[in-house]
Structure formats: structure tokens, C-alpha cells
A = this chain, B = another copy of it.
Amino acid sequence: MKTYKAHLIDTPVPDAFRFIENGYISVSDEGKVTYIGRTLPEQAGQVTDFGDRLLIPAFNDLHLHAPQYRNIGLAMDLELLPWLQRYTFPEEMKFANLDYARKIYTRFVHELWMQGTMRSAVFATIHLDATLLLADLFQQSGLGAYVGLVAMDRNAPNGLCGAKTEAFAGVNALDAKLGRKGRVRAIITPRFIPSCSEDMLTELGSLAQQTGLPVQSHLSENLHEIDWVHELEPDATCYGDAYNRYGLFGQTPTLMAHCCYTNDEEMQLMKQNGVCVVHCPTSNNNLASGMASVRRFLDNGIRVALGTDVSGGHYMSMLRVIQYAIQTSKLHYAQSKGKIPFLSLSEAFYLATKGGGEFFGKVGCFDIGNEFDALVIDDSYLNFDSYSLPERIERFIYIGDDRDIRHRFCAGNELPEPPQIH
């Protein structure tokens, strides 16, 4: 048992922040929150006083590509499909080389830690050895992650097309190595419909059914992509249905990234099947994909998380994604002449913490029983004029950065800085 004292700020519900000025939070030896309140509990264990600092839930990034780490901030002069062919696939081919994979993945895991992202859902590549290495690095760091061995067998360079049997065996090998009890686990990862043949999708659907493993993929990101999916899967009534036919659309817990152009039918299917949208506003801007309307998903009762989508997204901090989620929603608000309400700060913060955290269990806020995933924020250089706590969290979100994060906890453990360079 340990207890921390600080200004506690979280969003158990999206509508408003909960502020506990000079509050206390106790964490069991199992890493679960056992107390939160304004007074020191009777059974407090060792008490650490963080003084005037803020203690907030850690961030959860539900969509990003580890092998694209080298390309962050690069190559954004093309839309999705030519961008994949020209920049992304050639980079991912390099991960056949385990030394290269170690170099990039070591930095990638370090950066997640640096940015305060304690849990993530990650695409690796089709290369099993490199993906096992990535999972290893996650385990060594203490960070939580769903690690996806990417499945693809068409419309990509030869080096990135694998056999369905390899995909099947690979995910099973990853799952066997990681198990289902730790914080790093396997996730079934068809890249997207254009990359996966009918055979491959059938195989992955069986795998999901047999293992119960979760699924992640891309959905309705770009208009050209959607046209292509219609050509490739002419019987599917919508892009989402193309996954659904194979049992890859909510039959097990499922993340679908982007959803910029989800129509009413797809929306209905997502709702019915409990599919979670991962909104990636930085990437949607950078690749000129368009503007997904988060409000529409929320109004339809669909679960929403946020993702950096590195390297379509140009920055690995969830702070930026919160900013862009709000700003994109304000463009919808402006274009609808005020009819579509924009996201409030607490709503967007909720999406970046609890919205994504729920995919990992009880993660993302400080309610009792939750895993203690938290960041200690020193915003003293921003707080030069007696700002209120609501002002301090807003300023940290908009103008703070990794420099302000002083301690990082995942499931109750304070995580030391992982190696940046192999």
C-alpha cells in the first residue's frame, strides 16, 4: 500500500473534470486504487507528497504504428494510398532486419514513456521476430500494450506479403509468449481490407473465434480507399461489413481507426457490434483524409478512443491529439453553423484517458478499483499567476509537454526511463 498527495484531476465521466485539491490517493500492492479523497486515509502505507503538482491519469494511445517511428514528421505530401506505397511500405520492409528493428523499436518505446502514454494498441509489421522483440521491449519497460503482428497478403511489395498460415501461427506464437495475464498482449491485426485476401480474412476470423483475441484495423479513412474496398468486396454493404463478414468486427473486442466517412449503415453495425472508434485527427489532417465527426459517434452511443496514428500523425504526444480532437470538432461546429456542439476539454481528455483505457480493463481514471496509471505534472513555469486548477489542467493540455511530466506510473509501478538507444 502506498499513498500519494497532490492535486488530483481526472474524468470518471466525460462531462466534467473531477478536481481534488491537495487530495490523497492510495494504491494497493497490486497496483489498484483503494482510496481517493480529501483527507489522509487511516491505512495509508508510505505517503509521498507531490506538493503543488498535478496528478492525472496517464494517456492511452489506441492506434499507432511502431515501425513508422523513423518517419515521424516526414512524407506528408501524399494521400493515404500513394503514401503507403511510396513511404510506408518501404520503411516497414526494413523490419526483416532485427538489428534495424531493435534500433527503431527501442526509441519508439522510449518515446511512449517520455510522452506519458502508458498503454497503447500498436501495429508492428508482418515480421514475427521483430514483433516478438517489440513485445519484449514493452515488457521490459513496464508499459502496457496490445501488440499486433500485421497480417497482409496482397497489394503490397512482396517482402510485406505473408502467407495466411504464417499470420495464424505468428499471432498464436505471440499470444503464447505473452499470455493473457500481463499488461502486454497480442491483438489480431489485419492491416486493412485492401491488404488482406478473402483467405487471409477468413483465417483471421477463425483465429479470433478460436482465441477470443481482440482485433484492430483501419476503417473508412479515405475516399479512394473506400472505393477500392467496394471493388474488392463487392458483396459487402459497407466497409465495416467487409470485416464483419469474416468475424472481425466486434465478435471479439475491436478497434477501428479513423472512420472519417462512416455512413449510417456502418454506424449502426458498429453500435450493434460494440466496435470502438479510434479517432486520429492529426493523421486525418496530415494525409488529407478529412474530418471525422466524434460527436456523431458519441451521439450514437459508440465508444471512442484517440490515437496518434504515428507516422500519419506527426507527433507522439496524446496532448496534441486532444488539441486536434477539439479543434476538428470546432470546424464541424463552424461548418454546421453551430448545430454540432464541439467537444469540451473534459470530453476530449476523457477520450484520451478513460475512453481508450477501458480497452485495457479498469484503466483511465482514479475510481476505486482502477489500475493506477498516472502522471505527475510539474506545471510551475506555466503557473505564474495563481491559476485555478481548471486553468492549470487546460494550460498543461494546450501548452505543456513531456518536459512537465515528472513521474509515470503504470498499474501502480513507477516506471523508470527505458533505454533510448540500444
- Residues in A lying within 8 Å of B, measured CB to CB: 70, 72-74, 76-77, 103, 107, 223, 285-291, 314-315, 323, 326-327, 330-331, 333-335, 337, 342, 344-345, 382, 384-385, 391, 394-399, 401, 403, 421
B385-A327 in contact (CB<8A): no
Contact A331 B290 (CB under 8 A): yes
For A391, give its contact among B74, B288, B344, B391 (CB under 8 Å): B74
Among the interface residues A285, A333, A337, A421, which one has the most CB atoms of the partner chain B within 10 A?
A: A285
Closest chain B CB from A109 CB (angstroms): 14
- Contacting residues, chain B, for A72 (C-beta < 8 A): 395, 398-399
A61 to B34, CA, bound (A): 50
Q: Is the CB of B395 within 8 A of A286?
A: no
A342, B288: Cβ atoms closer than 8 Å: yes
- Tell me the smallest distance from the CB of A289 to a CB of chain B, in Å: 7
Supposing A73-B394, A384-B107, A401-B401 touch, asked if A331 and B330 sit within 8 A by C-beta, the answer is: no
Tell me whether A344 and B290 are in contact in the complex, defined as CB-CB below 8 angstroms, given that A314-B398, A330-B285 are known contacts. Answer: no
Number of chain copies forming the complex: 2
CA distance A253 to B157 in the complex (A): 55
User: If the complex has contacts A74-B391, A74-B394, A394-B73, are A330 and B399 also in contact, measured as CB distance less than 8 A?
Assistant: no
A-B contact list, 9 entries, CB within 8 Å: A73-B399, A76-B398, A77-B344, A103-B385, A223-B337, A288-B331, A291-B331, A314-B399, A403-B403
11 more contacts with CB within 8 A, not counting A74-B391, A285-B331, A403-B403, are A72-B395, A72-B399, A73-B394, A76-B326, A103-B385, A107-B384, A223-B337, A285-B330, A287-B330, A288-B333, A291-B334
A327–B334 Cα distance when bound, in Å, is: 17
CA gap between A354 and B421 in the complex, in Å: 38
Chain B proximity of A310: nearest CB distance (Å): 10
Given A314-B323, A314-B398, A384-B107, decide whether A290 and B334 contact each other with a Cβ distance below 8 A: yes
- The residue that A73 contacts in the complex, of B223, B285, B335, B398, with Cβ under 8 A, is B398
- Which 8 pairs from chain A and chain B are nearest by CB? A73-B398, A285-B327, A288-B330, A73-B395, A73-B399, A314-B398, A290-B334, A288-B334
For A395, the closest partner residue in chain B by CB is: B73
Chain B positions within 8 Å of A285 at CB level: 327, 330-331
Q: Which residues of B contact A337 (CB under 8 A)?
A: 223
Asked if A286 and B385 make an inter-chain contact with CB atoms under 8 angstroms apart, the answer reads no
- Known contacts being A286-B330, A289-B334, A327-B285, is A315 close to B74, with CB within 8 Å? no
For A384, what are the chain B residues with a Cβ–Cβ distance below 8 Å?
103, 107, 421
Identity of the chain B residue whose Cβ is nearest the Cβ of A387 in the assembled complex: B74
Residues of B within 8 A of A421 (CB): 384
Chain B residues, CB < 8 A from A70: 385
Q: Would A286 and B327 be within 8 Å (CB), given that A73-B398, A74-B394, A395-B72 are in contact?
A: yes
Chain B positions within 8 Å of A223 at CB level? 337
Residue of chain B at shortest CB distance from A224: B338
